[in-house]
Amino acid sequence: MTILSGPECSTMAEVRAGVDQVDRELIALLRRRFDYMDAAARIKPERGHVRDEARKAQVIANARTLAGAAGLPEEAIGRLWDDLVEASIAYELEEYDRRVTKS
C-alpha cells in the first residue's frame, strides 16, 4: 500500500497506514536518540553527572518552541518531552551502571 500524506487520505485504512509508518520512523529516531544516551553513559566520568536539570529544561523548552513553530500544542509536546527525557535519563543510568559493573 502506498503511504499517503495526511491531507491526501480519504479512508481510515490510509490514515492508519500512515500513522503506522510514522510510528516505525519515530521508533528508528528514538533508537538514534538512545544511541546518544549510550555515548553519554560512556563519556560521563561520574554517575551523578547523568541527571542535568538545566539541560533537561533546555531540551524541553527547545521542543516546545519547535512544536509551536510547527503548529503543534506546546504544552502537550512539553509533557511528552518531559517523559522522553526522564526515560532517557533512566536508560542512561542503566547503561552507566552496566558499564561500571563490567569494569
Binding-site residues for substrate, in ranges, read: 16, 33, 44, 92
User: Where does residue 96 rank: exposed (0-12), middle (13-18), buried (19+ CB within 10 A)?
Assistant: buried
Count the Cβ atoms, other than its own, within 10 Å of residue 78: 16
Q: What DSSP designation does 1 have?
A: -
Angle at 17 between CA 13 and CA 22, to 5 degrees: 150
Binding-site residue ranges: 16, 33, 44, 92
Q: Which secondary structure element, helix H or strand E, spans residue 14, and what is its range? A: helix 12-43
